[in-house]
Structure formats: C-alpha cells, structure tokens
Amino acid sequence: MKTKQDKLHEAFEFLRSKGVVHTQKEFSEQIGFDKSNLSSAFKGSERYLTDGLFKKICDTYPDFFRIDYFLTGEGSMLKESDNFHTFDKSNVIRYWKNIDVAGGNIEFFDDEPSDDFIPMVIPEFKGCTDAVNIWGDSMSPRYKNGQIIILKKWEESFIDYGNAYLVITRNGHKIVKYLRRSNNPEEILCASENPDFDTFPILREDIVKIYIVKGSVEKSIL
C-alpha cells in the first residue's frame, strides 16, 4: 500500500512530467504551502503529510486530482475527466516573476534567468508563451502599471503594425509599445497609449526579440 509520502511524490512527478511544475519551490508556491515544510513532507515527515496538504493540492488542481485517493487510497489519483489526458505543454505560460518591463521610459534589465519562472495555464491565452510585469503609465489605461502582460513570441518575418509588442533590444532594453511604420525604412516607431508620452524611433538592426502582447491579468487573481 502506498504511503502518504509515496502519494505526494506521485502527484509531484506527474505534474513535473507535464511541465506544470519543475521544482519543489514552484510546487510550494502554487499550492500555497511553506517550502521548508513541503520539503520535510517529501522526506516523509508525518507532521506535514497531513490531509490539509493534500486538500491544498487538490484545490489547486481541481480538474486533475481526486481527494479520495490521497485521503483513503481509494480509486485512481486522476479524475476520469482529467484534463491532463489531453494536456499540451505548449499551453504553459512562463511567468517571469522577477522580470519587469517598461511601459514608460526605456529601462535596463538583466538577461532572463534560465529557470526562475512560475508556469501558468490560462485557457483564454492558449498559444501564448511568456508573461512579465509591466511598470509605468505610458500604456495605460490599456495596460496598467503593475499588471502582468501575456505574451506570444513573434516569429513572423513582418511586423503587424498597430499592435502592442514587447521589444527587446541588443543593449538589453525591454519596452512595451505600439509599433508603427516609419518613413525611414531602417527604423520603427514606438508609440504609447498615453498621449503624454512621445513617440520615438528605434533601429530595426537593434531589435533582438519581439513578443506580441495578447492581453493582461491582475496579480490578485494568481
């Protein structure tokens, strides 16, 4: 018979195999459980292998896990209508919680870390790849200071002018602007939603990556 420790590892490994979590730290953040206590639970501490822990797991992933399995051992771990049967890792949005982008003046930020993100699945943003914090007022009221913007990497050979994009330049600037056509073919114009901010040009050759902004969410819902 599987122990509670076995069941915890089973649930974690299942989520990790699907790309929903990658580390115990991410797991603890998603379920709202102290990471030190969770680490102790993974090591077999009965003090933390409680019904409350498994209820948090099932509450966080209500479409996936059956609470009866963790509490009584009855049945299978996954619900028969489990959405993970058709889960696609491409639906996972990487929320880079420590990366901020500028909606006002150009700011400088370090390069993206390799693994410091929280995976999110938001059905309304299927196909999106990344999410970051936006600060500043130049894109307000459409994208407000402190929101999380949802992004999709733009891999087309052209720019669909008039849309909002996150532009990353060679010197590390990360800016969110409407991109507009310039009379100078070597430049692209960056325009704001807020009329108090001026439009300015950037050189095409300075652009490293472009992400189209597909929408935003408030941090309070995460």
pLDDT (tens digit per residue) in 132-169:
899 899 999 999 998 999 999 888 888 999 999 999 98
pLDDT number for residue 220: 54
Confidence tier at 55 by pLDDT (50, 70, 90): very high
Q: Which long-range contacts (CB under 8 A, 24 or more apart) does 62-71 make?
A: 65/11, 69/7, 70/4, 70/7, 70/11
| 117 pLDDT higher than 80 | no
Distances (CA, A) of 42 to 5, 46, 190: 6, 10, 50
- pTM equals 0.58
User: Is 75 a residue whose pLDDT tops 60?
Assistant: yes
Asked if pLDDT for residue 102 goes beyond 50, the answer is: yes
165-169: long-range contacts, CB 8 A cutoff, minimum separation 24:
165/210, 165/211, 165/212, 165/213, 166/101, 166/132, 166/210, 166/211, 166/213, 167/202, 167/207, 167/209, 167/210, 168/207, 168/208, 168/209, 168/210, 168/211, 169/202, 169/206, 169/207, 169/208
Residue 189 banded pLDDT, cuts 50, 70, 90: very high
Structure confidence at residue 85 as a pLDDT band (50, 70, 90): very low
**Positive or negative, the Cα torsion across 199, 205, 208, 212?**
positive
Q: Tell me the range of 12-26, 32-46, 97-111 where mean pLDDT is highest.
A: 32-46
Q: What is the mean pLDDT of the chain?
A: 84
- How far from each other are the two terminal CA atoms of the chain, in whole angstroms? 36
**pLDDT at site 111:** 47
Q: How much is the average pLDDT of 60-75?
A: 89
Q: Is the pLDDT of residue 221 over 50?
A: no
* CA gap 135, 175 in Å, rounded: 10
Average confidence (pLDDT) over 171-183:
91
Q: Is the pLDDT of residue 175 over 70?
A: yes
Cβ 168 vs Cβ 207: under 8 Å: yes
